[in-house]
Amino acid sequence: MATPLPVLVDVDTGGDDALALLLAMASPALEVRGISCVAGNCGLEQVVTNTLRLLDGIEAPPVPVAAGMDRPIVDAGLPPPALHGSDGMGDLGLPGPRRRALSMHAVEFLRDALTEAAAPLTLICLAPLTNIAMLLRTYPQVGEKIARLYAMGGTYAAPGNATPAAEFNVRCDPEAAAIVLQSGLPVTLYPLDPFVQVRITREEAEAMTRAAGAGARIAGGIALHYCRYFGADFSLIGDAGTVAAVIDPEGASTVRSPVRVELTGGATRGATIFDRRLWAAEEAEDGFSEIEVVTGVDAPRYRRLMAAALGVEDMLGD
Ligand code: BDR
Ligand code: CA
């Protein structure tokens, strides 16, 4: 088997961040070297609690968890979206946590993890990009230790979700998103376009809550929470799709495109503007940076990946 890819994961756990962590922790293709937490789907303290409870719930081996920024760089932050439940993670009633976070700030943790790594690491960012922007501004030298930065955020051709124009993670901290996406580092963005493609049906979620594995039961509970909240017969794997795109890039269609984050707009603040003009110049416009964008994914393939990681191939098919 190939050597697992060493990754750092930045989260605002978050029901769908929890699904992403379940996939990342279970996948033999990844070695999770640490988890950094940031305010987003809920307040920072709750994000940390949720992350630790989740790791306890699957009896994960010790993995460093660090608390980072408790608010965006400029804005006061968006109110926690009600869809994630009152605890931000589907109100599953998980006990604990028993394990603890590091006493070190997440930005310092990320710096050390990158600096001390023998080879560049992959960053998987599933939340407002506040921690990562602070890291790049404070310790720009770590840029050379980032092999690739995957970020869930923005929209390519899809509408927004936090506002008509903007996706939640980018709208939460547009300045941070601008710093990271326009950094010139190797970035792959996983926007709302593929985010909404990979589903778990209500029936599958119900079956998963009775699975043998704790991870599958938790994932089923989270998916069921979203089905109930939206009164829908399906839920999304959401952030977990970004992890799937790291594990299995062949399942994703990508384009290379110049991007810029709208900072000054009113209704458009936090929108990701891609230069999709047919006649776009060879060179990116001023202020735009070229990144890779996932425009679509092979949903059955990523469902199979998720099912295999959770050991529920019989419950989560094509
Ligand atoms: C993103 O916002 C959060 O609500 C989710 O966890 C995901 O990272 C989707 O817009
Ligand atoms: Ca998230």
What is the C-alpha to C-alpha distance for residues 263 and 16, in angstroms, rounded to an integer?
Answer: 26
Q: Could you tell me whether strands 187-190 and 199-201 are parallel, antiparallel, or unpaired per DSSP bridges?
A: unpaired
The predicted model gives 207-217 an average pLDDT of 96
In this structure, the number of other CB atoms found within 10 A of the CB of residue 24 comes to 27
**Residue 141 phi, psi dihedral angles, 5° rounding:** -65, -20
Measuring CA to CA, how many Å separate 107 from each of 111, 116, 130, 318?
6, 14, 10, 40
Amino acid identity, position 214: A
Rounded to 5 degrees, φ, ψ at 13 are: -55, 110
Task: Ligand 1, residue 84: give the atom nearest the CA.
Answer: 4
Question: Is the residue at 317 inside a domain?
Answer: no
Determine the atom of ligand 1 nearest the C-alpha atom of 126: 8
Ligand 1: atom nearest CA of 168 is 10
Residues that place a CB less than 5 A from ion ligand 2: 12, 14, 17, 126-127, 239
Cα of 280 from ligand 2 centre, angstroms? 32
Please check whether residue 175 lies inside any domain of the structure.
Answer: yes
> Is 316 within a domain?
no
Closest alpha carbon to 68 in 41, 89, 47: 47
Measured from CB, residues less than 6 Å from any atom of ligand 1 are 14, 16-17, 41, 81, 126-127, 152, 161, 167-169, 238-239
Q: What is the mean pLDDT of residues 65-88?
A: 91
| Amino acid sitting at position 70 | D
Confidence of residue 317 (pLDDT cuts 50, 70, 90): confident
The predicted pLDDT at position 266 comes to 87
Does pLDDT of 72 surpass 80? Answer: yes
Domain count, the chain: 1
Q: How confident is the model at residue 265 (pLDDT cuts 50, 70, 90)?
A: confident
Strands (E), 162-238: 187-190, 199-201, 234-236
Is the pTM of the predicted complex or chain greater than 0.75? yes
Domain membership of residue 120 (yes or no) is yes
Is 284's pLDDT higher than 80? no
Cα(116) to centroid of ligand 2, in Å? 27
Q: What domain range is 237 assigned to?
A: 5-310
CA nearest to 247, candidates 39, 30, 19, 91: 30
Q: How far is the CA of 207 from the centre of ligand 1 (A)?
A: 25
* Ligand number nearest to the C-alpha of 160: 1
Residue type, 100: R
- Give the confidence band of 96 by pLDDT, cuts at 50, 70, 90: confident
138 within some domain? yes
CATH number at residue 86: 3.90.245.10
Give the closest residue (by CA) to ligand 1 atom 4.
41
Mean pLDDT of 106-116: 98
Mean pLDDT (the chain) is: 95
**Other Cβ atoms closer than 10 A to 55:** 24
pLDDT in tens, 222-259: 999 999 999 999 999 999 999 999 999 999 999 999 99
Run of H or E including 114: helix 106-116
**Is 318 within the bounds of a domain?**
no
Q: What is each CA distance from 318 to 51, 66, 128, 206, 249, in whole angstroms?
A: 29, 36, 31, 17, 19
Q: What is the rounded CA–CA span in Å between residue 91 and residue 84?
A: 8
Does pLDDT of 280 surpass 90? Answer: no
In a domain, 67, yes or no: yes
